[in-house]
Amino acid sequence: MGAGHPWYDASGNLKTTPNTFRYVGDQVTWDALVAGTAGGDADGDGVADPWTLIQTRAEFQSLMSGPTPSASLGQHRFTKPFSKAEWRRFADPYVVPRIETVPTLTEMALAALNILDDDPDGLYLMIEGGAVDWGSHSNQSGRMIEEAIEFERTVEAVIDWVQMNSNWARHCSSSPATMRPATCGGLVRIQPGCLS
């Protein structure tokens, strides 16, 4: 699950020509995903197990609970790894509105957990709040704060999921590790109430 949709721009708008297909392999793979023909016999039963392409926020939200496809690929309709239009614009936190058609990191994490929890052998899931990196490199304190808060919400949701669906003591694989790479964009407090 992630960003890099070939047909959508950084504001979540459909394009007339694609960006790149590299995030899904190539155009042949993308076309097969759209057609519902990508994927082979994943479980060895002699029957093809095509991948289900998940693109809309509603589709991601529907996967947060209940039955899931046997194989899925989530590519939300946005080219960047965050959900803010005009991401280069400097602004205080929450001034630039979210693009509401893009799923939150929490929604994608819960959908991934619901998909992966069907495996009786357990699961491994890496969740990256990569947009904090973009904000840091651009020295956008508002973006950094928003992304740090969304990441914290995601960690809380994952902990809640583990407590409801697993056993911390029994499964060492149910131990989340969190870190914040690239939160180094020069966030310095100059005076009370002023961030730079």
Global pTM reads 0.81
Which of helix, strand or coil describes residue 143?
Answer: helix
Alpha carbon distance 52, 29 (integer Å): 13
The whole-number pLDDT of residue 190 equals 46
Q: Please report, for residues 65, 76, 111, 141, the alpha-carbon distance to residue 61 in angstroms, rounded to integers and kept in the order given.
A: 8, 12, 7, 29
> E strand or H helix at 163, and its extent?
helix 141-165
Handedness of CA 69, 73, 114, 121 (dihedral sign): positive
Quick: pLDDT tens for 126-184: 888 877 777 777 777 788 888 888 888 998 999 898 888 876 655 555 555 665 555 55
Quick: pLDDT tens for 36-63: 999 888 778 988 889 999 999 999 999 9
Please say whether the beta carbons of 106 and 158 come within 8 A.
no
Residue 189 predicted with pLDDT over 50? no
Two structure tokens written together for 13: 């708008």
**Average pLDDT for 20-47:** 89
Quick: pLDDT tens for 65-77: 999 988 899 988 8
